[in-house]
Amino acid sequence: MALTGPSPSPGRGLSLPTRILIGLVLGAITGVLLNEWRPQFDAWATQGRGAPAVIVEPLLTNVIGPVGHDFLRLLLMAVIPLVFASLAAGVAQLGDLSVLGRIGARTMGYFLLSTATAVVIGLVLVNTIQPGKGLPEETTRRLALEYGAAVSDKPPAQFGVQTFVDIVPRNPIRAMADMEMLGVIFFALLFGIGASKLPKEQGELVIRLLLAVGEIMTWIIHLAMRLAPYGVFCLICKVTAELGFQIIQQLGWYVGTVLFGLALHLFVSLPIFILVLGRVSPWWFFTRVRGVIVTAFSTSSSAATLPTSLAAAHERLGIPKKIAGFVLPLGATMNMNGTALF
């Protein structure tokens, strides 16, 4: 018997996507207010005490920040088991390698098309608008001071022969522990193909086990999504409380260019793909995945959004689990249009 997540009864109160959106808006407003009024709050806390006291920083560090990070960790906790189980079960259920090849070829073709479209949009906009011109020198120094060290600590992304070598994990368990998604996907593909070659009874047993693991992970995701409005509130609140609204004003052209490019891809390019390739109404599609969109916006993580995407694909779009389980884990790693455009 399949597990069912602890979701509220339909028709009672606000829907989950609506509550997540409310949490997002309230979190942004609260964070901006905390940033703007921090000196006043700290002054109130200091009054009547012998030593200076502050309240905003401890609130962000000890309450709001941890709650937001724990929500994100709860989502990420289920990602690797869900990716492995869904992808391996999907491949095993497809069975015939020729079917797998056709679906894989169509999937990769769409990935290339959508990613190339996103890159073209980004290049055209940045060369037309040139958002970096006229940025105040003081803002440039502040950003370099705050984020320069974090950027310099990260090794530059490289694509070459070593990338293809790293796809094959020496230790699949370590790849799972380190969340090396390409290695996990490669191992899951081979595992699923191997399961499809087993005798019928053994193969069905493996598939049932993988599907059961997927059901358990889905239950955990449903549990996490019950907490999503509060987790989203805390994630957005902490970011806006630390950065404030002033930096957004100073980086207005840059922020506006990024948002305009993402909006073009989301509301122009993707609807065309949905209409032409998917042969369904874009409005029908977006109304059924609005929870996925809000989760992606608030977490800024393809991996953290993957469990929600898998659930929505099967439960709200009617896509067979074996297809969704094959395509979506690949897309979360290889088809990050927003990153390509950015």
CB distance 222 to 7 below 8 Å: yes
Sign of the Cα torsion 313, 210, 78, 302 reads negative
Question: Which among 275, 229, 288, 254 is positioned nearest to 136, based on CA atoms?
Answer: 254
pLDDT score, position 333: 72
Q: Return the residue matching tokens 């098309």.
A: 113
pLDDT score, position 5: 46
Angle at 180 between CA 178 and CA 186, to 5 degrees: 135
pLDDT score, position 8: 43
Sign of the Cα torsion 299, 232, 18, 315 reads positive
DSSP 301-316: -HHHHHHHHHHHHHHT
Q: What is the pLDDT along the chain (342 residues), one digit of tens a residue?
A: 345 444 444 445 777 778 888 888 898 888 888 888 777 766 666 665 544 456 777 788 888 888 888 888 888 888 888 888 888 887 887 766 676 778 888 888 898 899 899 999 999 999 998 887 766 677 677 667 766 665 565 555 555 676 677 788 889 889 888 888 778 888 888 898 888 888 888 888 998 998 898 888 878 877 887 888 898 899 888 878 877 766 666 667 887 898 899 999 999 999 999 999 988 999 999 988 888 888 787 766 777 788 788 888 888 888 887 788 788 887 877 788 888 888
What are the structure tokens assigned to 281, written together?
A: 């109404």
Compute how many other C-beta atoms are within 10 angstroms of the C-beta atom of residue 24.
21
pLDDT score, position 125: 93
Separation of CA 301 from chain center: 3
pLDDT score, position 159: 56
pLDDT score, position 154: 57
pLDDT score, position 247: 63
DSSP 246-285: HHHHHTHHHHHHHHHHHHHIIIIIHHHHIIIII-S-HHHH
